Structure formats: C-alpha cells, structure tokens
Amino acid sequence: MTGDRRYRYGIALYLLVTLGMTNAAGIVVEAQRFVVPIESVIAEGLSLDWPQIERFYETQQSRFVWHQAGLLSDQGEKLLRWLASAGLEGLSPGDYHVDRLRGLSHQASPDATVIRELLLTDGYLRLARDLRYGRFDAAALDPLWQLPTDDFDPLNALITALRQGEFEHLLANLSPRSEAYLQLKDALAHYRGIQQRGGWRTLRVSQILRPGDHHPAVAALRARLAMETPAGGEEAAGPMYYDQALAASVRHFQRRLGLQDDGVVGPATRQALNDPVETRIAQIRANLERWRWLPHELEQQHLLVNTAGFEIALIDQDRVVFHKRTVNGRQERQTPSFGSRVTHLVVNPLWTVPRSIAVQDMLPKLQQDPDFLQRLRIRVYRRNGVRWEEVEPAAIDWTQHHQDNFPFVLKQDAGGGNSLGRIKFHMPNRYQIYLHDTPAQGLFEHPNRAFSSGCVRVEAADQLARLLMRHAGFVAQAWFTKAMRTEDTWIAPLSKPMPVYLTYFTSWVDRAGEVHFRPDIYQRDSDLLLAMSERVGRMAAQY
C-alpha cells in the first residue's frame, strides 16, 4: 500500500472515531469527530498486514470493531484475552502485540484507540494463521514433512463469524481440537509449573546406580523422579537405599524416555534425568507446532505412525483401538512424514527390491558372495526388448556392475523369509513407502528401532489387517485365514481405504496420561527449536 493510499485509508477509518462529550449538567452533547492520519500509526514502528487490514475494514464500513466510545468493547476484551492466551499453545504472546496492547490499556486518546484497534486486528490475523498452519514453515524446517495443510482464510473466517454472531466459537476452534493436542497443552502447563518452582537439580553421580545400592545420590534420584511423577507407596528403608520401589520409578521414567527399562541408572538414563526442564518444555512446544502442521481435522478413523516414537496407533474418534511398536528408516534412509490411505491388503507379498537397496546394499554382498541371492530366494530379471526375463544369478559377473551400470530388477519370492513378512499394507505415495510385516520380530525389542530402509515394519500386522478389514466392512474374513496358511500371493482391495498419517513427534501423551519424550533420531527438532529461539542443546539419539 502506497503512502498516499495509507493516508486516505487512515482518514476513512478515523473519521468514525467518536468521543462522547458531556456538558456541566452531565448531558451528552454532540460527539466530536477526530481525523488522525495513518502516518501516526506508522510512526510507532508497527509492522502490520495492511492489505488484509484494509480489506477487513472495508467490509465493516470503516467502523471500529473492537471499541465503543474509545474503550474496548466486550468483543475487544475477549480478543485481547485470547491473544494473551497464546502461551498456552506453546506460542509467544509478544508475537501478537500483547505487550504493546497492555501498554495502551489505560490510554484513551484517539491515537491510542486507533493503534489498539489495528493491533488487535493484526494480532488476530497472525495468531489465527499460526494456529491453523503453524507458526513456522514446515517444509523449510523439515523437508521430509510433506503432510497436507488446510485451505483456510483467517480474514474470511472472522468476517463470517462476526456477521453470524459466532466470534467466540471461531476463537475456540482455531487451534487443533484432537485429544492428543489438548493433552500436550496440559503437559506444557505441567512442566512450566515445574520450571516456576525452580526445576530439578542435576544428579551429580559418576557411578552406575543399581537396585540394592547404598549411595548418597539415591536420595537425590528419588527427589528428581518425584518432580515429574509424585511417588506413592511406602517410605524407603533408608534415604540412601536403592529399593525396589525406586527401581520401579526408574523403569517407569526409562519407558517414558524410550530408554532400556532395566531400572539401572547408567550414562543414558543419567543424561535424560539431567536434561533441564527447559529442554522438556522446548520439546513440548516443538511438538505442539508439529500438530499445527497437520490438517486441522484429522479423519475420525485413521492410522497415526510416529517415526520418532517407533509406534503406530489406529485412532477411532480420538480413541486408540490398536497401538503397537514399529521399525522405521535408519538415519541415512529416513522415513518421511506424509499422508496417504491404505487401499489394499497383500498377503504373502512379493518384494521388488528398490534400486537404491539393490545397488547400495545388495550388490557389494553379491560381489563377495555369489550365493547371496539364492539364500534369500531373490530372482534376477533383465529387460529383453519390451519384456523382462529371468536371469540366472550365477551367469552374471557382478564385479562388472556398479551404481551406474545395473540393468537388473531383483524380486524376492513370497512366503517365509520374505523381507515384507506375510502382510503388506499398500498405500500410494511418491516415496514408495508402505507399512508391512517383518520376519525379524526381534527388532521390536530394541528401544531404538531405526533399522529399515524407509518403510515401516508393524508389530502384530495380522491384528491390524483384521481391524482394517472390519473397518472396510469385510463380513467374512475366512479368505485371510486361508491365505495366511499358504505362500500364495493374495491381494484384497479395501472398499473403505484407511487414512494414514506418518508423523514425527518427539513428545506426546499416552492413553494413561503419561508424558513421553524421545531422542531426536533424525535431528529434525534442531532447526525448529532454533526458529523458536529456544536455547536448547542438540538432542541426539541416545540409547
């Protein structure tokens, strides 16, 4: 907006600023009108969304929305309280002019009234956008976060709400309404309460603490754990005695932090105990932001995969009906975050080996061991004109091939030993990522389960398959039982595909109300925390 246009618009708005005057007898006389150029606002150094502000007040016939007779109206008070509550969402109220607005709260001059009016409108636009899209650009901070966003215009929503008398309803529904988000907000309040009480002390002990030990640091350990989760039960036999009740508390802490739950306070557990409360607050704030990066309304029934937490859940109207462990991509082949739908179940799937795995992982082994493919029941195909023909692996000199010269396709037979296990959950996406079973069931016992090449291996995949069939309306599932008894490949389309969201949350609240934290296995928190100006050390994957 040019200076001249801003000046003209300022007059159009300010001509409607009126202050009631009274005479000596207390009788209201004709109101006085003030003309204050918008340059007085610009001189205050305010950076506002002028095009949106102009558009808004044009729809309001250039009348004040948040003031009456120079004072905040009830509606304006509600908006100010809402802006001030941004901290509850893990955001900074100062980003929405709250500090400036409070400084103007007792000023009734025409200039102050106009500035306050514009700051409230601009504050609404900023906070509404941040609650619906996130405060920061997801793709810029995490290129592997490719989940869709909503089509939402904060200004149109405000104009409609004011016209329909639903302003409060609008404010109450701009932030995510999922139970998981609301629980994480409560967790933020809990940890800020700990921070206000001074946080917890550093556990100063170099030796490993085990159940049965007597050590002066045991009392400090017990006090540290009680800061997050108040202890119950009987008193310990002695303040320095590491009893079984304390061991249970340590195991509970370890499970919440994704550590080996052995009840032993070794280096990893000690480091997690000594991370300051500010680190936990920063993690929660970062993950509240990630929830705002998701679509505002997740479908009532959906699969939610959390790659940072190595878990999958089937959600039905905010109720968890299936919750199991997962294995996902290792550091160099990270599982991306995106949305899709499970459209088909494949029992006894064939596995077409991705080219990247074939040339980077398998070719070096083939060059050392010619029988490698045979042991894994992997067949080799090479194009002959328009057709792919099977080739005997022993007839190929693998030493002559490399990443830029690999004219083969590798396919693993269905059945026992197949890398996809017995079940594949097909979900179209540009990453060629899908959910599947695995023959390597022992990997689910590891705290850090970043072992795959990007796809997500699901614990109890047969249970999940039956739930998805039930969701899709399969009345008879006998075919599934029959298919699982063979090594033949069966493909069943789901008449009602299941939405699936692959996400990355390093903090969340479980069904029991316990707050969980996880190491930042893919180092995706770092840039987000930096953007949030959180002075927190890099949170590495420590197990």
Identity of residue 110: P
Catalytic option among 296, 426, 436, 516: 436
Bridge-based pairing state of the strands 301-306 and 311-316: antiparallel
Residue ranges of alpha helices (H) inside 62-166 are 74-84, 98-103, 110-133, 138-141, 154-164
Task: Tell me the sheet residues that pair with 175.
Answer: none
Q: Which two tokens stand for residue 361?
A: 């992982």
CB contact set of 443 (below 8 Å; sequence gap of 6+): 327, 449, 451, 457
Catalytic option among 97, 455, 471, 516: 455
For 30, counting Cβ atoms within 10 Å of its Cβ (0-12 exposed, 13-18 middle, 19+ buried), the class is exposed
Place of tokens 């894994």: 376
Identity of residue 447: P
Tell me which residue of 12, 519, 3 sits closest to 280, measured CA to CA: 519
User: Any idea what DSSP says for residue 345?
Assistant: E
CA distances for 543 relative to 203, 211, 264, 450, 459, angstroms: 19, 20, 13, 12, 21
User: What's the rounded Cα separation, in Å, for the pair 207 and 242?
Assistant: 14
According to the 3-state scheme, what is the secondary structure of 208-247? Answer: CECCCCECCHHHHHHHHHHHHCCCCCCCCCCCCECCHHHH
User: What's the rounded Cα separation, in Å, for the pair 31 and 43?
Assistant: 27
- The reply to whether 402 belongs to the active site is no
484: left (phi over 0), alpha (psi -120 to 50) or beta: alpha
Is the CB of residue 66 less than 8 Å from the CB of residue 121?
yes
User: What's the rounded Cα separation, in Å, for the pair 521 and 304?
Assistant: 18
CA angle 484, 488, 493 (to 5 degrees): 75
User: What's the rounded Cα separation, in Å, for the pair 174 and 128?
Assistant: 6
- The reply to whether 97 belongs to the active site is no
**Phi, psi (rounded to 5 degrees) for 456:** -110, 120
User: What's the rounded Cα separation, in Å, for the pair 28 and 45?
Assistant: 36
Q: Which two tokens stand for residue 258?
A: 């994704």
User: What's the rounded Cα separation, in Å, for the pair 479 and 67?
Assistant: 68
**Phi, psi (rounded to 5 degrees) for 318:** 70, 5
Place of tokens 């197949």: 418
Place of tokens 């801003």: 6
User: Any idea what DSSP says for residue 359?
Assistant: I
For 406, counting Cβ atoms within 10 Å of its Cβ (0-12 exposed, 13-18 middle, 19+ buried), the class is middle
CA distances for 178 relative to 185, 280, 291, angstroms: 11, 21, 9
Is the CB of residue 221 less than 8 Å from the CB of residue 243?
no
Catalytic residues: 436, 455
